[in-house]
Structure 1
Amino acid sequence: MEKQLFDVVIIGGGPAGLNAALVLGRARKKVAVIDEGRPRNAVTREVHGFLTRDGISPREFRRIAKEEISGYPSVSFVPDTAVSIAGTDGRFQIETEQGQTIASKKVLFAVGMKDRPLDIQGLAEVYGKSAFVCPYCDGWELRDQPLVIINKGAELMHFAPVISGWTNRFTVCTNGPDELTDSQREELRRNQVPLFDSPIRQIDSSDGIVRQVVLEDGTIIPARGIFFKPELVTGSDLPRTLGCQLTEWGTVVVDEFGKTNVPGVYSAGDAASRMHQAIAAASAGAFVAVVINNQLNTEAWGRNG
């Protein structure tokens, strides 16, 4: 593989990277997908909101995707981790953890996001089983259940009305100062939402199902599920290393075509968006793949002119 020049290297094999590989494979481009096989959504049992795949496990989703893509022989899968990248548009060089050197004309970062360590005792045991981050992905399964929402400040005031569509039985734990205004606290009170700012001591659970949230002041809140705001970082430092501009949230800055500020480098999916849903990531991957393919074809056409 070291001696080949690929048209596109896709770093990341989630929905964005896989759909990009499918589109580029069908466009007869030579593609390498580098992925370590440790997706963020591995903790979840099911993917939801994806037409024809609602309820599928993330592992099975990837297996089917790779099986479909294997029908296009110009796409290669590299079960490895990209650790460095250098070069410029038309000739990038990616080094992997296992010592491979892969050259490519274009690069697509589909590296997703990853969670910072969960610092609430007991949260790791329920994450992906009865504690989630997105009600559009997992709200149906917790409909009408007593929930605890772990959030604060402006984001809480966005989230509270949203989650009320699935259940009106929820309690807010801000795990410290709530960062709310008096009028925002009054808004929660009018909607009969209990609010606690005591730090969380622990989350008690059984077989991954939340039983109660225990606060430092001794308050015990029975619950059957949790929605919390995760602390996220970009799934790889390589976009920053290569000079890609990042937002304050850590996502890669792209234009409407998925282009970064670095010529020849693109990004799609969770790495470049705050719409963290599998179907949105897959759609972005497909669209950016079309942009990349059109650019490659235009460049080849110009060389022949």
Structure 2
Amino acid sequence: MNQPIDVAIIGGGPAGISAALVLGRARKSVVVIDEGRPRNRVTRESHGFLTRDGIAPSDFRRISREQISAYPSVQIVEDTAVTITGLDVHFLITTAQGTTYLGKKLLFAVGMKDLPLAINGLDEVYGKSAFVCPYCDGWEVRDQPLAVIAKGVRALHWAKVLSGWTNQYTICTNGPDEWTDEQRAELQQRNIPVFDSPIERIASVDGMVQRVELTDGTSVPCAGIFFVPKLATGSDLPQALGCQLTEAGTVLVDSFGKTSVPGVYSAGDMTMATPQHQVITAAALGFAAGISINNELLAEAWDRLS
């Protein structure tokens, strides 16, 4: 039997839970369908969220759910949405466990997922001493020797950004650097070491990186690593529903989180054209989307009485 609800939120991370908080306080019936595998589960601490700086991601999720429990119209289920059919006001969501929901509006907040980079030893240090965001983790490795695993314009961008935390870093491009002569000269002028040999492995002890070993025998000692992840959206369902995507593969939304499909919203990392994947940013986008969804539901109810 289909469970009728106002809003189905796919994804229970900061964006999804923030939207659920708004909608719960607005007295809307909401189900949050969350498979329980957040991308930041590999990290020990989450930074940059005012009043929650340094919190463990697991604690952030626990506290969020405790606070949501104050609003009885919101339910959070550990499940996976597998199919969604229908149109605005009549979306049918079916989960992996066979539960079905009939929702008026949809919000996708499934974030991004990491794809394998095929670098031996990276999994052992990811989230412990290898990071993807200096604004999240740069303070913890300040003034220490770092290795940057990146190439092309992203490597140049990271070289500029990391200079705010340390002047001891080496770029490992893990193959051809993909730079112009002018870009190479820019790095040489600043005496930034660059190695383009493929990476053999990342050596570590208990998750703490010791060095990056290259196939040509070079060893790059370091206390931390920043690397460019390879990402994909956390679900193919928005695309299956016809949501327009950006060139970067993220879901295209307006400033209110509306997608190109009526009644379908998206918020959080999967909507960002630039990789500013911070918890506080995702939560803010979810909050804004929650307000927009509630306003739309109220306007539709108002019009039905006209």
The interval holding the TM-score normalised by the smaller chain is over 0.9
Q: In the alignment, what sits opposite 2:169?
A: 170
The CA deviation string for residues 29-63 of structure 1, in whole angstroms up to 9 with x for no partner, is 00000001110100000110000000101010010
Query: Could you tell me which residue of structure 2 aligns to residue 302 of structure 1?
Result: 303
Any unmatched runs of 5+ in structure 1?
none
Instruction: Report Cα offsets for 1:61-113 as digits up to 9, x if no partner.
Output: 01000100110000011110111111100010111001111110000000000
**1:231 has 2:252 as partner:** no
Q: Give the aligned partner of residue 287 of structure 2.
A: 286
Alignment partner of 2:202: what SS? strand
Question: 1:181 and 1:197 mapped to 2: Cα distance?
Answer: 14
Match of 1:179 in 2: 178
Shift of 1:140: 0.3
Contact 1:81 1:97 in 2 (8 A): yes
Alpha-carbon distance, 1:157 to partner: 1.4
Question: What is the rounded CA distance, in whole Å, between the counterparts of 2:260 and 2:292 in structure 1?
Answer: 15
- TM-score, structure 2 as length reference: 0.98
Corresponding residue of 1:130: 129
* Counterpart in the other structure of 1:76: 75
Give the partner amino acid of 2:287: A
Separation in structure 2 between the aligned mates of residue 224 and residue 304 of structure 1, nearest angstrom: 64
User: Partner of 2:6 in structure 1?
Assistant: 7
Size of the aligned set, in residue pairs, is: 304
Moved over 2 A (4+): none
Determine if the alignment matches structure 1 residue 119 to structure 2 residue 118. Answer: yes
**How far is the alpha carbon of 1:162 from its aligned partner?**
0.5
Equivalent residue for 1:203?
A: 202
Structure 1 residue aligned with 2:242: 243
Give the aligned partner of residue 193 of structure 2: 194
Task: Give the secondary-structure state (helix, strand or coil) at the position aligned to 1:49.
Answer: coil
Aligned counterparts of 1:45 and 1:248: Cα–Cα separation in 2: 32
Q: CA RMSD in A?
A: 0.8
Instruction: State how far apart, in whole Å, the 2-side matches of 1:167 and 1:235 are.
Output: 33
Say whether 1:96 aligns with 2:95.
yes
Where 1:32 maps in the other structure, the secondary structure is: strand
Deviations 1:119-153 (A, max 9, x none): 10000000000000000000000001100000111
Aligned to 2:235, the other structure's residue is in SS state: coil
The separation in 2 between residues aligned to 1:270 and 1:231, in whole angstroms, is 14
Find the aligned partners of 2:249 and 2:12 in 1 and give their Cα distance. 19
Cα distance in 2 for partners of 1:6, 1:189 equals: 60
Q: Contact conserved, 2:152 with 2:179, CA < 8 A, in 1?
A: yes
Could you state the TM-score of these two structures normalised by the residue count of structure 1?
0.98
Alignment-mate amino acid for residue 63 of structure 1: R
Q: Match of 1:3, as an amino acid? A: N
Answer yes or no: is the 8 Å Cα contact 1:83–1:95 preserved in 2. Answer: yes
CA separation in 2, counterparts of 1:10 and 1:227?
A: 32
Partner of 1:271: 270
Contact 2:3 2:100 (C-alpha < 8 Å) held by counterparts: no
Amino acid at match of 1:173: C
Mind listing any 5+ residue stretches in structure 2 that lack a counterpart?
none
Give the 3-state SS of the residue equivalent to 2:46 in structure 1: coil
CA contact (8 A) 1:118 1:124 kept: no
2: CA distance, partners of 1:195 / 1:61: 38
CA shift, 1:189, in A, is 1.1
Counterpart in the other structure of 1:46? 45
TM-fit CA distance, 1:117: 1.5
Corresponding residue number in structure 1 for 2:216: 217
Q: Return the offset for 1:159.
A: 1.5
SS at match of 1:105: strand
Question: How far, CA to CA, are the matches of 1:40 and 1:169 in structure 2?
Answer: 29
For 1:110 and 1:77, the matched residues in 2 are separated by 14
What is the rounded CA distance, in whole Å, between the counterparts of 1:197 and 1:275 in structure 2?
A: 27
Q: Give the drift of 1:3.
A: 3.2
Shift of 1:156: 1.3
